[in-house]
Amino acid sequence: MQISKSTTQRLLQALLYWLRGDIRLGAALQGILLVAEENGDRKLYQSTLAIRTQINNGSSLSHSLRPFLAQDEYALLLLGERFGVILPALERIVATREQAAATVRLLLSKLVYPLSLLVFSTALLALISQYLFPQLLQEQMDHVLRGHAEHWRLVTAGYLIVMLAVMAGFALVWSWRQRKVGGRTRQTNQLLRTSLALYFCESFALSFQGRASFHQIVSVLAQNASIAIRQHAQQMQLSLQGGERVLERIMATGLFSPSALYEIQLLRKEGKNQHDMMLKIKSLIWSRYETQRLRQVNVLAYVCYFFAVVNIGLIIANLAQLIQLTFLQFI
């Protein structure tokens, strides 16, 4: 059964709300069904009913929720079940989704005005130079003025093509950086590495809260997480099997930056427990992640502002040409 991300988020939030009140799972699902029915939320009702049916048939919560979760979210919930911290696992899944959505809203809010200005100015410039100009040129008998105006129109058209090509280039570069090739993430993509590092910190913090050993955690991830996570978890398994016991050396799989590993080393020497250590590292990585994304969005916003300003200048120049041509028609 496929449902939207928003329905999945409502389902997880509702489940978390009921379970936080120390209500048994069956009663919590019944409560969600009643609320969904009262609100006319058919998708939430159907998905909750499907989960309750599976649980009544003996399935675990993680298995019942698996169709509605990303693979790594499922692995995180499975960690919660295995080590007795299922409520914190749900909390972390919901919080991570909300945090990611909040970051997207923040980034989009910074792009709305410059993109709107660019789109409006581009449309107006194209209308003036490629529609109004040709209309007036058909009626202009002075060959010198006509040639000058035609040259100006072609220059503007060339600029529009270059501008669109530059913006398309930005989009292609962004798309390329997000791509996965053959199921393996590009190791040059810092953004993806950061996302994976955040997931590992989340998984370790949750499992350490449930008093799980490092070996137990990576074993679950190596079997149930996505391919990218499995690769790093398997490398950590090999380090453990080789007798390595120093945390930052086990985690040195190319996923965490040298500065993050150094911070882990310092926190470990300060005597921080592993749960608090992972939360601290996650907070630091997330802060850098947001800074990186904001920097990228700011670059795009400045590019939009630059082209919008050029557009406005060309609009003024084109309007001046139009006024001149219109005036000359009446002389």
pLDDT in tens, the chain (331 residues): 667 888 888 999 999 999 888 888 889 999 999 999 999 999 999 999 999 999 999 999 999 999 889 899 999 999 999 888 989 999 999 988 888 888 888 888 888 999 999 999 988 888 887 777 777 666 655 566 667 667 777 888 888 888 888 888 877 876 665 554 334 444 445 667 788 888 888 888 888 888 888 888 999 999 999 888 898 999 998 888 888 878 888 888 888 888 888 888 888 888 888 888 888 888 888 888 888 888 888 988 998 899 999 989 988 887 887 777 677 666 5
**CA distances, 82 to each of 52, 75, 76, 221 (Å):** 20, 10, 10, 12
Residue 60, number of CB atoms within 10 A of its CB: 15
213 φ/ψ angles, rounded to the nearest 5 degrees: -85, 160
Residue type, 144: V
Q: Where are the domains of the chain?
A: 1-68, 70-330
**CA distances, 297 to each of 27, 226, 291, 293 (Å):** 45, 28, 10, 6
Residue of 166, 186, 164, 163 whose CA lies nearest to 176: 186
Q: Which residues contact 138 (CB under 8 A, 6 or more apart)?
A: none
State residue 188's pLDDT score: 43
pTM equals: 0.76
State residue 45's pLDDT score: 92
State residue 32's pLDDT score: 92
State residue 186's pLDDT score: 44
Q: Cα separation of 279 and 276, whole Å?
A: 5
What does the DSSP assignment read for 124-173?
Answer: HHHHIIIIIHHHHHHH---HHHHHHHHHHHHHHHHHHHHHHHHHHHHHHH
Q: Cα separation of 236 and 251, whole Å?
A: 6
State residue 187's pLDDT score: 40
